[in-house]
Structure 1
């Protein structure tokens, strides 16, 4: 059994004058959401054998916030391929994971993460997949399990989506707003 957890970076700021999208930082709401999600990871008792993350500034800052709430280090392996990656590219990263790893955490961006969940989860009405199809907000976590022994065996529509946790599920103030 393999478990894949996908975490979208927290809300970034568009007000900062940065030259590249890669350098966009989190805004205050994003920092708060990252810490909230970190506390939820701790409350759920989740642990990860390996963490792969985009090296973008907003992902690094999301990890800082997660670690603060989680009260432990994630020690990610930063992989440039995860930055704004398609579902197919993310699936390549997943399939390349060492099989000693039972629980992989992948931290990155949309639309790639959302598309990856939709690619891997069966299209069955009345499941968590419906929520993913509606919207995969910033700082949201999706967890999937696969009845395989090797990451290379992860196939389309073969995952079980076991969790989909949005920051607003934990704190309504972290939900959509006009800002």
Structure 2
């Protein structure tokens, strides 16, 4: 019997957004801090070798800007698909998007929002390495990246089927250049 392939789902919460008066939620841009943190997220993805085969990104401006700035820090660029269903979906809808990922994809990166990402992690992670689960229960902050792994297909991801194997929060340098 052949073992099922290892799948890796990376969940990246968009970086800190600005709140310009009169701007619709979907159109909110990143703040200055968010721009720094998005770049740091790209460096973190490269440093930890969390390189996706495919990126699915919410259509919200802040999510797209997060990915653009993160991607600029990577050596190679995976295919990216803007996915309207990733704008604040309930967990079953987010999982439906993941279930439709092609079989050739081993590592998928989803750029999205809370509480959807946090709730997805807590629903599908049967266990975590170290103290990751309690950390996510407490808070899944902006520019946080979670890594969930399991053996099987994308369609098999469900309640308590994955292991939370990584959790990191990307923070950019706050020092002002001299």
Q: Offset at 1:59?
A: 0.7
CA contact (8 A) 2:125 2:161 kept: yes
Counterpart in the other structure of 1:20: 24
CA offset digits 1:115-163 (Å, max 9, x no partner): 0000001267953111100100001000000121x21111211111011
Q: How many residues align?
A: 170
Which residue of 1, 9, 15 corresponds with 1:10?
A: 15
Cα contact 2:128–2:163 (8 A) shared by 1: no
Gaps of 5+ in 1: 175-179
Whole-Å separation in 2 of the counterparts to 1:74 and 1:56: 20
Asked if the contact 1:63/1:74 (under 8 Å) is kept, the reply is: no
Segments of structure 2 that go 5 or more residues without pairing to the other structure are 1-5
Following superposition, the deviation at residue 87 of structure 1 comes to: 1.4
SS in 2 for 1:156: coil
After TM superposition, the structure 1 stretch with the greater mean CA deviation from structure 2, 4-13 or 16-25, is 16-25
1:164 matched to 2:167 = yes
Measure, in 1, the Cα distance between the counterparts of 2:129 and 2:37: 29
> How many angstroms apart in 1 are the aligned matches of 2:129 and 2:107?
27
| Distance (whole Å) between structure 2 residues aligned to residue 121 and residue 72 of structure 1 | 29
The structure with the largest strand share of the pair is 2
Give the structure with the higher percent helix. Answer: 1
Could you give the per-residue CA deviations for residues 14-70 of structure 1, whole angstroms, max 9, x where no partner exists?
1x1343110000000000001011111111222211111101100111012101222
Q: 2 CA distance for matches of 1:145 and 1:125? A: 11
Does the 8 Å contact 2:53/2:79 carry over to 1?
no
Q: Of 105, 113, 117, which residue of structure 2 is paired with 1:113?
A: 117
Say if 2:122 and 2:136, in contact at 8 Å, map to a contact too. Answer: yes
Q: Describe the superposition over 1:84-114 as per-residue Cα deviations: whole angstroms up to 9, x where unpaired.
A: 1111111111111111111111110000000
Tell me the TM-score normalized by structure 1.
Answer: 0.87
Q: Which residue, 73, 94, 98 being the options, matches 2:98? A: 94
